[in-house]
Amino acid sequence: MNKDREKEILEILLKKKNVTVKQLADSLFISEPSIRRDLASLEKQHLIKRIHGGAVLEETMLSKNKIPFLIREYEQSSAKVLIAQKAIDLINDNDVIFMDASTSCYYLIPFLSSKRNITVVTNGVKALTKLAEYDINTISTGGTLINSCLALVGEEAYKTIETFNADIAFFSCRGISDDGYLTDIAPEENNIRKQMMKNSKKSYLLCASEKFGKKYFHNLCHKDELNGIITV
């Protein structure tokens, strides 16, 4: 099992949606039998669907698995860096910041090192490790772990968020409907975001433009309830 190569395959599939074994073998300079083994592993993880001669990435299949973090990490990654560069200008020295477990917030972390004496409160497990790498004062919400997206949720997480008054909250969602509602497929994560919005002076959505016009079953809030949307 080659996790790095599996991630490369997922990155290609996110861009192309479907691909042949030969295309993958040529792109990654790997033998076709090795590619087939990687595809079999990814299918066992319910991340792709193998078809004759190749594989496809299906949104419906991903939705059932709450969009695993390792998949979302590749989606619009260049856009997320540009969004992070815009978002950092909203942060001041000494701020307390709420950040959800989204990959959009994850991409913001390296830029936080330019600020002094900030504190980040997050429910993102992967974010906790990244924040430690940059020696940023960090508080974990605690709570119940959603394995597929590495997010901490539940009553313990809500209680932690309630004890802090943040200057600014950053979060993302899966889509914004045509009538302006922020929507997602994970009610538990949306509930965390609502609590962060409630206990923060300002709230900003970090969202790549490809999410506009998409509607999922659970509403977070209307865009008019936000201080702004940062997008590219």
- Which residue, chain included where needed, has tokens 């997010």? 151
How many beta carbons lie within 10 A of that of residue 21, not counting itself?
20
pLDDT of residue 61: 52
Q: Where in the chain is the domain with CATH 3.40.50.1360?
A: 72-230
| Residues in a beta bridge with 153 | 144
pLDDT of residue 63: 47
CATH code, 72-230: 3.40.50.1360
Are 71 and 10 spatial neighbours (Cβ–Cβ below 8 Å)? Answer: yes
Q: CA 204 to CA 193: how far, in whole Å?
A: 11
Instruction: Look at domain 3-64 and name its CATH class.
Output: mainly alpha
Q: In tens digits, what is the pLDDT along the chain, a chain of 232 residues?
A: 577 788 788 888 877 878 999 999 999 999 999 999 999 988 887 778 899 999 987 665 554 454 566 666 666 678 899 999 999 999 999 999 999 999 999 999 999 999 999 999 999 999 999 999 999 999 999 999 998 889 999 999 999 999 999 999 999 999 999 999 999 999 999 999 999 999 999 999 999 998 999 999 999 999 999 999 999 9
Packing angle between helix 3-16 and helix 32-44, nearest 10 degrees? 80
